[in-house]
A and B are shown apart, each in its own frame.
Chain A
Amino acid sequence: MNLRAMKAIVRKDIRIVRRSKGVMIPLIVVPLIFFILIPLLVSLAPSLINMPGLSLTEFDTFLQRMPGDLQSTIEPYAEDQKIIVMMVVYFFAPMFLIVPLMVSSVIAADSFAGEKERKTIEALLYTPTTDGELFLSKVFSAWLPALIVSLAGFVIYGVTANAAGWRTMGELFFPNWMWVVMVLWVAPAVAGLGLGTMVLVSSRVESFQEANQLGGVIVLPIVALVIGQASGVMYFSTRLVLLLGAVLWVVDGVLLWFGIRVFERERMITGL
């Protein structure tokens, strides 16, 4: 493995992304909403409940639809604390996964389809790197930033939630083990899902925009998880998150296998 060349490709791809407004804006705005705005608003929820027209009864009705395990987990908390724990710890957990998914897929679209669009791939293919080195470099270019944003986002989310919720909670309530597993086990797999999908999509399209539009459907499984949890069909327990991660890693493996076959010099050059 030519590690020096691989590092150069990763470094260059990240530098290119940093200099593109079209790529950077969603990479900044979405994490800001998910990691700062949402925990802040949720932590203000108990005050909102005291507003005229809103009552805890509606929340209780919502809570009664939840699986028994979840109900007993949050049982020891006071009513206003339950809202924060329910929302910050459980309800937004699947939404958190949107961030690594989005970061990896946007960067992968720029790295694979974008390089085709800018017609910079040809000179890269003439270099002494192997197909495998090129593919892995491109994978890391998208995967590593997604991991870094997820980990940083997790810390920011935790600090914001604990700080904003301190008055109501009176203690540090975030994270629990489920979140640790989700950030270290599921988020990297979700990032792999985003980039794996984008590698396959990028082999068939000519532009960054096209890749993003087609690859956008990958967010649907996350939406399904959010709906599944909101409707009480399931909840993000540690066991479920472990299982979800395992399934996603298998899917990543399959996507990677197809990706290596798609990422062949001849296919890349004839696609120009």
Chain B
Amino acid sequence: MTDQVVISAEGLTKHFDEIQAVQEVSFQVKKGEVFGFLGHNGAGKTTTVRLLNGLLKPTRGSCKVWGLSPIHDGPALRSMTGVLPETPSLEERLTGRENLAYYADLYGVREQDIDARIRQLMEQFGILDRADDLVKEYSKGMIQRLALARALLHTPPLLFLDEPTSGLDPVSSRQVRTLITQLSQEGHTVFLCTHNLREAQQLCHRVAVLYQGRLVALGTPEELSERVQHQARLEVEVEQSDQAKTASLLGAKGYDYMIEEGGSTFDIRGVGRTSTPSLVKDLTADGVNIYKVSPQEPDLEDIYFALHETLEEKV
């Protein structure tokens, strides 16, 4: 990842009559970054992708992609982006190979390279043996893989992927996640719209959370986890005979805890990674024998739902 800004949005707003699809959204995406765009259905993710590619004109605000204006430099900008839309958008009456050849012409892939490029991508996505079958005979997973291959046809430096693992089996999903990591390492920038929070946590350098068209959180998964630190837990397994001593110490220090079945494991709430060493030091100083310490950090899913709960309460 470098400091070169690939996407910048400033107060980006889009209204459709009464519907406020995107409201005052501002963010930047850097070259080589995998940027996660999280939100429920209708949160404004797809509208933002369409605005960034010049398919929609913003009601207010502005955005630049590779320094180009999506509205004024749409064709030049779109030649540098590859998009996997929400619906695969493939012609069912064409074969897989014909679909890719068609888009290779539209994206200006060099004519002498088309056959080899199509073959390479179809092989990579495991659909080469079905290349000459009509797409209407493909399974959902194969269609999704073909749509991904189409997004990569012209080797775009910026990819917009809307739910890329939707409909894929676990093996193909892992293959796509590996591909995204690999693309990022090669310097490609990936704008990942997803509901799959574990996937976002695994892949994204930074994530933005969209709620009813507004950007409500932006940062690395670690930075966001700080916002819900009260949800962190620490599991400590002590010697059975030290249970009373441990309970007394934790009570005296004001910790909120539960003793799990069996009586030797304490589930201590509100203790994040950073507070773990001091707590362990206190326990060992009082002669508690500790067998196991495992911090349970809030993951992106906790962060996401915590943010949404807070916002729902406000609404």
A residues with CB within 8 A of B: 2, 4-5, 7-9, 11-12, 15-16, 19-20, 118-130, 265-266, 269-270
Contact = CB atoms under 8 A, between A and B. Distances in A.
Contact of A123 (B75, B89, B94, B108): B89
Contacts of B130: none
Contact of B93 (A4, A16, A127, A128): A16
A126 B83 contact: yes
A16 B75 contact: no
A4 B75 contact: no
B91 A120 contact: yes
Interface of B: 16, 50, 53-57, 74-76, 78-79, 81, 83, 85-94, 98, 102-103, 105-108, 147, 150
A15 B98 contact: yes
Contacts of B56: 265-266, 269-270
16 contacts: A2-B108, A5-B105, A8-B102, A8-B105, A16-B93, A122-B86, A122-B87, A123-B83, A123-B85, A123-B89, A126-B85, A127-B78, A127-B106, A127-B107, A265-B74, A270-B56
Contact of A8 (B50, B92, B106): B106
B89 A121 contact: yes
A269 B55 contact: yes
Given A16-B91, A16-B94, A266-B55, A122 B78 contact: no
Nearest to A20: B93
Nearest to B76: A128
A122 B160 CA distance: 13
A5 B106 CA distance: 5
A120 B75 contact: no
A128 B55 contact: no
A155 to B, nearest CB: 30
Contact of B16 (A121, A127, A270): A270
Contacts of B54: 265
A269 B50 contact: yes
Nearest to A4: B105
Contacts of B93: 15-16, 19-20
A115 B202 CA distance: 36
B112 to A, nearest CB: 13
Given A16-B91, A269-B56, 9 more contacts: A9-B106, A118-B91, A122-B87, A126-B53, A127-B78, A127-B103, A129-B106, A265-B56, A266-B55
B89 A122 contact: yes
A123 B90 contact: yes
Contacts of B102: 8, 11-12
A12 B94 contact: yes
Contacts of A15: 93-94, 98
Nearest to A121: B89
A119 B89 contact: yes
A43 B146 CA distance: 55
B74 A130 contact: yes
A119 B76 CA distance: 24
A85 to B, nearest CB: 45
The listed residue with most B CB atoms (<10 A of its CB), out of A7, A8, A12, is A12
A129 B83 contact: no
B74 A266 contact: no
B81 A126 contact: yes
Contacts of B75: 2, 128-130
Contacts of B94: 12, 15-16, 19
A7, A20, A128: residue with the most chain B Cβ atoms closer than 10 Å: A128
Nearest to B49: A126
A114 to B, nearest CB: 10
A20 B106 CA distance: 23
A12 B83 CA distance: 20
B168 to A, nearest CB: 18
Contacts of B98: 12, 15
B55 A265 contact: yes
B54 to A, nearest CB: 7
A130 to B, nearest CB: 5
Pick the 4 closest A-B CB pairs, nearest first: A123-B89, A8-B105, A128-B79, A127-B106
* Listed residue (B75, B90, B94) with the most chain A CB atoms within 10 angstroms of its CB: B75
